[in-house]
Every structure is written in structure tokens, then in C-alpha cells.
Amino acid sequence: MKPDFLFRFLCRLRLAAVLAGSMGLVAVAHASAISSLNRFYHDVHTYSARFDQVVLDEALNPIQESSGTLWIERPGRFRWDYDVPYKQIIVGDGSRIWVYDKELQQVTVRRMAGSLGNTPAILLAGTGSLTANFVVENMGRQGRLDWVRMKPKVHDGGFQDIRIGFSGNQVRSLVMVDSFGQTTRITLTHVRENAHINPARFRFTPPKGVDVVGE
């Protein structure tokens, strides 16, 4: 994925530390996936996984594919290491978001506060209220996963529709449709919850000689 899209994606998604914050229970008839969402929001403090990501156009043809490893620690700390198709690092240290493109030898930095909006970011970063920002509904079991849908109440975050798939209470898939009709699918494997993560994962210092753009 290109650096500008990755930066926008992670700012929007706030691919960050896993949930904690104020969230009221979501009342629905069938609460299987909703219960998993609530558990993830309240009880998961650290999270790591391998991910495979694909972006599809409006006709659902794949246009970008990537993979790597992610680490999340609430509140507001995360790291995404992209291995394929080229190396890229995205770090949220609690106050800033850093995007390092090794091929371009460029770092983009931006303050985290105020840049995230009403997006799925609040799900992964540990701030905000799901019920205040999203209409959350159960989608039932589809294939091997139990799904919930989150529709933003205010359409300022770039995504019109967000779906989260759970297996055995663990987040295994994220599907997001943006305002351009493109779909981003993220599949998560080798999931670890509430395991210790070295704090150094969430610190970033620009390497010597690279261009730094932003604040």
C-alpha cells in the first residue's frame, strides 16, 4: 500500500491499543457477537497478530495486497509492521503517529489528538464510546465467524460501513467500506491477547538521514 493511503487508513482506523474506555452495553436480541465486542472493548489490554490485508475496488477486484505483524496496547499505542509488498512501519506512541517508508527513506509524523474522528479507531485505541459514535447491530454467524456491523452516526471518518468478525471471542477479521466504494479486508491470525509487549515496540525515533515530514 502507498504511504499516503496507509497513513490515512491507520489514522482512520486508529490501529492502536486495544480497547478500554467508556462503552455502554449494546442491546440486541442475539448478543453473541455483541458480547465478544464488549469483551474485546473492556477486557483486552494488549493484542498482537499476523495480518493479511487486501483492498478491493467497487467491483470487488483486488487492487492492493499486503501483510505483516501488528501490536496494540491501550490506550493509544500501536505498531504495524508491513513486510509485503515492501517494508513500512506505522507506530502510534500515544501522542503521535509515525509512518516510516523504508524504500522512500521518509517519515511522516502527525499528532494523534484530533486526527482520528468518529472512526473504528476508537475500537482499537481504547478511547471514545461505541454507542455514541456508531449504530452497532448483530449480523449473526456467517461461515466460521460471528459478525457485528458498525455504521458511523457521523460520516466524517472515511468509512461508511465497518464489520468485525469474531471466532471464539477473538477478533479475526475487519471489513471496511470507504466513501469511494473501496473495501478493505483484514484477516488476523496467530492472535495473542493480554500478553506482555516490550514498551520499545511503541517508541519510534526517525533513522538518521531520512526526510521527516509533518509536525
Going residue by residue through the chain, which has 215 residues, state the pLDDT in tens, using 9 for 90 and above. 444 444 344 433 333 322 222 223 333 334 578 888 888 878 888 989 999 999 899 888 998 899 999 998 888 788 889 998 888 898 888 888 898 998 899 998 988 775 555 455 555 655 556 677 778 889 999 989 999 998 887 766 567 888 999 998 888 998 988 888 889 899 999 999 999 999 999 999 999 999 999 86
Nearest to 3 by CA among 64, 44, 51, 56: 64
- The CATH classification of domain 3-214, taken from the options 3.10.180.10, 3.30.70.260, 2.50.20.10, 2.60.40.1730: 2.50.20.10
> Residue 87: what residue type?
K
Quick one: cell of 124? 482499537
Quick one: cell of 155? 460520516
> Residue 71: what residue type?
W
Q: Give the model's pLDDT for residue 214.
A: 84
Contact at 8 Å (CB) between 67 and 83? yes
Helix, strand, or coil here: 103? coil
Q: Give the model's pLDDT for residue 7.
A: 39
Strands 106-111 and 211-214: parallel
Domain boundaries, the chain: 3-214
* Helix H or strand E segment including 13: helix 3-13
Q: What is the pLDDT of residues 20-66, one digit of tens each?
A: 222 233 333 345 788 888 888 788 889 899 999 998 998 889 988 99
Nearest to 164 by CA among 133, 194, 187: 187
Q: Give the model's pLDDT for residue 111.
A: 85
Q: Give the model's pLDDT for residue 157.
A: 54
Distance of alpha carbon 9 from alpha carbon 32, whole angstroms? 28
Confidence (pTM): 0.78
Burial classification of residue 151, based on how many CB atoms lie within 10 Å of its CB (0-12 exposed, 13-18 middle, 19 or more buried): middle
DSSP state string for 42-86? HH--EEEEEEEEEEE-TT--EEEEEEEEEEEETTTEEEEEEEESS
Q: Give the model's pLDDT for residue 114.
A: 59
